[in-house]
Amino acid sequence: MNDNFKVAILQLNAINNPDESLAKGIDACKKAKEMGADIAVFPEMWNVGYGMPDNDENINAWIQKSISENSDYILKFKELAKQLNMAIAITFLEKTKNLPKNSIIIYDRFGNEILKYSKVHTVDFKMEKYTKPGTDFYVGELDYERGKVNIGSMICFDRDFPESARILMLKGAEIILVPNACLMTKIRLEQLKVRAYENMVGIVTVNYANYMGKSSAFSPIVRDDNDSQILVMDEKEDIQIVKFNLNEIRDYRKRETLGDAYRKPSLYKYLSEEHIKEPFIRADSRRNLK
């Protein structure tokens, strides 16, 4: 049986105006639905176009652009998901009592929130030191009309740490969505390919257009050409649909060797203990922030 789960990559130009980003985002979701998508995914921090301030003096004005998950902006995507009968993964700078968070919410086709995640590995050596890191990784079950799929998410810098994708796999993720806002170099693309392969999951990364671009999708299944690449886009603004045959992926996960089949977690306790020492000591690291 050919059961393709279809993900719309919204590789769009960044917009630093919330009204314009809202209108453009709604239009993009409608186009994704017309293209047959089961879910539409935005780049990182869509409501502000990422748009990090370039110095400490401008940080308060930037924080004022943060919005709550119950804001009209976010709720419009919740309602849109119901109207389109299509899941939407919307990203935003989330308002909290203290520092804002870099967050994503996934609404299913009924408008139900199935997952909310805040970036754990914030870029603390740059201006993301003014965001509050998330504290866990989450997986939600998404009903996409023809079936159900377990979805997880990590955001940009999270992909540099193999633990992020590993935890999502262990929690049951079959597809991992990666909103992004940075230049996708060859090594970063290869990194995502390895994350998909070693965890036996599909991975979709959605980047901004222009000088960034190169949004991508990788399968856990290595084909006859010894590659698992489904798509790597160019730098232009575009919406592309990528398909994951879930029956094929599930069959592959049942019989192949990676993922959680032959791990030895009882021997990995050292990984969760603190051993920081030179040359990895950084004054700006927030590794123990709760």
Annotated catalytic residues are: 44, 119, 156
Q: How many residues does the chain have?
A: 290
d(CA 34, CA 241): 11
For residue 106, what are its two tokens? 């996934």
Burial class of residue 156, CB neighbours in 10 A (0-12, 13-18, 19+): buried
Burial class of residue 51, CB neighbours in 10 A (0-12, 13-18, 19+): middle
Residue type, position 65, single letter = K
d(CA 38, CA 179): 17
- Of 152, 204, 149, 151, whose CA–CA distance to 180 is shortest? 204
Q: Quick check: 92 and 73 in contact, CB under 8 A?
A: yes
Task: Rounding to the nearest 10 degrees, give the CA dihedral for residues 151, 156, 162, 165.
Answer: 0
